[in-house]
Amino acid sequence: MPVFLLGKKSVSSQQFDKNGERMPTTFIDTSSCHLIDIITPDKRGYFSVKLGFGQAKNIKKPVKGELEKAGIKTPLRFLREFRLEDYKEKVQSIEEGGKKGIQIGDLKIFSGDVINPTLFLKSGDLIRVTGTSKGKGFQGGMKRHGFKGRSQTHGASRDERAPGSIGMTTTPGRVFKGKRMAGRMGNDRVTIKNIEVVEVKENGLLIKGLVAGAKGGLLEIRG
């Protein structure tokens, strides 16, 4: 069954499983996830759903118009699309009473509806969670790539954390692309697969393990 949800990283904690072993857990808050629009192949050439999440103080007029069209009065902060081309046989686009929606088996969801995890998930299911990792700024080779560093003996002239040689002599006489060096670290899109769902609630879900990003960061949940 396809899964598409937006949420935010809430509380990272721990609990004990049935065998009495400790496991790290993360609660993902999905309380304000709305279905905004259904994008069909005849409209843009692909099949997807657009979701909105979070609350913003000010939003741009095009976004405001899109939300009003879906009947959503809350100004939503994040808008994301989830492609459903791999689930064409299971998901159908429908329209009832002038409202667009999708049908998955007997389940019908229309634009403007609030989506909660109980519609798709149950305890024991495996999901993929995508988030943005914490930004670390400009870092050196030891922190960014785990380099060992140079010797700290006699003759080492304040270069204990230097990366060492980065190229060759006359041939080829250049530094190859992709060479691991100092640079910007973090703030990357990270997807963690096969995360087990521990508990499903109306306002979110408890998962086993940790996910990328800071507390309150946006997370995309897929099946």
What stretches of the chain adopt beta strand conformation (E)?
4-16, 22-29, 34-39, 48-53, 78-83, 91-96, 99-104, 107-110, 126-132, 137-139, 183-185, 189-201, 204-208, 218-222
β-sheet bridge partners, residue 132: 189
Q: 7 is in which domain, residue-wise?
A: 1-31+116-136+182-223
Cβ-based neighbour number of residue 187 at 10 Å:
12
Element (H, E) at 186: none
**Per-position DSSP letters for 1-50, written without gaps between them:** ---EEEEEEEEEEEEE-TTS-EEEEEEEE-TT-EEEEEE-HHHHSS-EEE
Q: What is the mean pLDDT of residues 45-72?
A: 91
Amino acid identity at 186? G
Specify whether 123 is located in the same domain as 211. yes
pLDDT at 127: 95
Q: What is the mean pLDDT of residues 84-91?
A: 85
Q: Is the CB of residue 131 less than 8 Å from the CB of residue 9?
A: yes
Q: Is 170 inside any structural domain? A: no
Average pLDDT, the chain: 91
Q: What is the mean pLDDT of residues 175-199?
A: 95
Position 202 pLDDT exceeds 80: yes
pLDDT at 100: 87
Position 158 pLDDT exceeds 90: no
**DSSP H helices in 132-179:** 141-145
Specify whether 95 is located in the same domain as 59. yes
Query: Which band of pLDDT confidence, cut at 50, 70 and 90, is reported for residue 177?
Result: very high
Query: Which band of pLDDT confidence, cut at 50, 70 and 90, is reported for residue 36?
Result: very high
Specify whether 3 is located in the same domain as 13. yes
pLDDT at 85: 85
Query: Which band of pLDDT confidence, cut at 50, 70 and 90, is reported for residue 164?
Result: confident
pTM of the predicted structure, to 2 decimals: 0.87
Q: Is the CB of residue 198 less than 8 Å from the CB of residue 125?
A: no
Amino acid identity at 111? S
Query: Which band of pLDDT confidence, cut at 50, 70 and 90, is reported for residue 154?
Result: confident
Query: Which band of pLDDT confidence, cut at 50, 70 and 90, is reported for residue 206?
Result: very high
Q: At 78, which CATH number?
A: 3.30.160.810
Give the count of domains, the chain.
Answer: 2
Q: At 209, which CATH number?
A: 2.40.30.10
Position 1 pLDDT exceeds 80: no
Specify whether 15 is located in the same domain as 93. no
Specify whether 103 is located in the same domain as 192. no
